[in-house]
Structure 1
């Protein structure tokens, strides 16, 4: 995560927001300045030209110096940014006064007003950036705590069930028991890996397969799984423990309570600039406690994908007749596989 409180002004989105915000400020001032009509268009045009030039050049300078500024303390970086903006405003003010040939004695007062207004605006803007940065840090900390809580939630009941299943297989089917132990170790290794905010989709799917392999030993023919995975999405970035908790909920709420079991459908497909992940299962158990746990898990996953991908990431869930569906939409973002990463071929 970016640790500097000033956003990257080299990005088109940031520059666009600066231009629009400054233009709106100029429009407000032009409305206030108008003696007749709604807007003083001459004033708007001149001030807009001045503000946009100073905004863009200041943003360019801060962009170029951002790496160096990020190594300074907040106070020092703030002072330097203020100095850059004021120096820029002063340079353009002197140029404007020279071109417009103001009346004698008014140049100093006009430049002083511009510097004062620029100082107030840049201080308010930096304060806003700082508060936004602190909010993002707090949100990241909350997301980390939620992920840690998710790790703790997954382990207890699943571990007990898995160990009982493995113990029952040791005498009769030792090969399957050994395979289950390996799957279980990989599953808990993934649960303990909390440093990676994003992992390749192939790794998350492999985790789901291992989890389902263990549950299949316990549920037998009651658990049926359909995989519909589009090609070319193996390196799509996804937060760890996104699909696996959905699959776990599908078994806990939709398969385990039904005497005849049911089918879980896991589908991954591209759609324009997005990737769609779907987990579908038989109708969710109607017990209130179960529904509450399911909502908490969904809220946890939604908060994490929103924190990492922004507002373009969407989680939706719906229930139609006897089928419950959870769909996650993520922006397409390839993630290079870390060196030595392995996935299990279960096709």
Structure 2
């Protein structure tokens, strides 16, 4: 179900490509240090290969286990999660060394005492590396959260500058219709109140169906303003996925399509909105025909697009995206959101 605030935890970031890449690089660096350390075996390549294999298995299994348990662990205190991470590193280290002992112990000719010493030293290394990794990840997460909050504040300030443009146009339309078409004026004001109630509620998540309902209210308002100049084509399935999206994330793309594909053209234009699932992804496409005469770009277009992109990425922890293309006289914006957490 949608929530009022996106719940973002550090465990959600553990299985991202950048985190996995850094973990692999750190593991290879540790394997190299163990290989060139004083007292290491003279067969450096074999030692490096075995150390690298064991370290990578330990790191990836630990990260994978924490990521798989991220939902039940979301209710656990961070200190207990840190202790669990250290314990996983130790357990998987023992497992890797135990497998190496069973497979290679006789070939290497190491005594039981030597293997015990190796087990203790590797356990100490795993715990030390785990503590250093937790400290580094904690600092990285704090910096990331501060950056997200600063970006959100910036986006809210920029959005506050854009909203009056739509408000003034809507009120002017209502003033022009109030005497001639009072019923439509009443509907316009009700739709406007719904949109601004959603806008003033702040950053939150709503269902996809509710977001599309807000888009329909917005298009009803713009339909009164542009009349036959605005032509809208909907391709929306009857059964929508039960998915949360940021409130007012699709509406800005539709607004941009109208401002740049309908408003500057005397004969108007068309706006195409499609909702579809593609594998494990939800895709929302908003497209409009480009005017034949060049139109001077406005800062509001990029601000609205960047705001939607930032909110989608924040909600999906970097997995979602907003992509735009221009081809064959049409401008297309596509929102991609994973259907699974």
TM range (shorter): 0.7 to 0.9
When the two structures are superposed, what TM-score results if normalisation uses the length of structure 1? 0.73
Kindly indicate whether the alpha-carbon contact (under 8 Å) linking 1:265 and 1:280 is maintained by their aligned counterparts in 2. yes
Q: Which residue of 2 aligns with 1:148?
A: 156
Deviation at 1:126, TM superposition (A): 0.5
Q: Which residue of 2 aligns with 1:191?
A: 199
Cα distance in 1 between the residues matched to 2:338 and 2:178 = 44
Task: Provide, for residues 244-301 of structure 1, a one-character-per-residue CA deviation record: whole Å limited to 9, x for no partner.
Answer: 11111111122111111111111112211112211111216744442x4322322222
The alignment yields a C-alpha RMSD, in angstroms, of: 4.5
- Structure number with higher relative contact order (C-alpha < 8 Å, ≥ 6 residues apart): 2
Relative distance call for 1:208 and 1:116 in structure 2 (3 A) is: same
Q: Which residue of 1 aligns with 2:131?
A: 123
Q: How many residues align?
A: 326
When the two structures are superposed, what TM-score results if normalisation uses the length of structure 2? 0.74
Q: Which residue of 2 aligns with 1:253?
A: 260
Moved more, 240-249 or 109-118: 109-118
Cα distance in 2 between the residues matched to 1:85 and 1:208 = 48
Cα distance in 2 between the residues matched to 1:68 and 1:252 = 43
Match of 1:300 among 297, 303, 307: 307
Match of 1:228 among 218, 221, 235: 235
Q: Which residue of 2 aligns with 1:161?
A: 169
Task: Provide, for residues 294-328 of structure 1, a one-character-per-residue CA deviation record: whole Å limited to 9, x for no partner.
Answer: 22322222222122224442322122243211122
Kindly indicate whether the alpha-carbon contact (under 8 Å) linking 2:13 and 2:317 is maintained by their aligned counterparts in 1. no
Kindly indicate whether the alpha-carbon contact (under 8 Å) linking 2:73 and 2:81 is maintained by their aligned counterparts in 1. no
Q: Does residue 200 of the first structure (1) align with residue 204 of the second (2)?
A: no
Kindly indicate whether the alpha-carbon contact (under 8 Å) linking 2:86 and 2:130 is maintained by their aligned counterparts in 1. no
Deviation at 1:145, TM superposition (A): 2.1
Deviation at 1:119, TM superposition (A): 4.0
Q: Does residue 212 of the first structure (1) align with residue 219 of the second (2)?
A: yes
Moved more, 146-155 or 171-180: 146-155
Q: Does residue 322 of the first structure (1) align with residue 326 of the second (2)?
A: no
> Could you list the runs of 5+ residues in structure 1 that have no partner in the other structure?
335-347
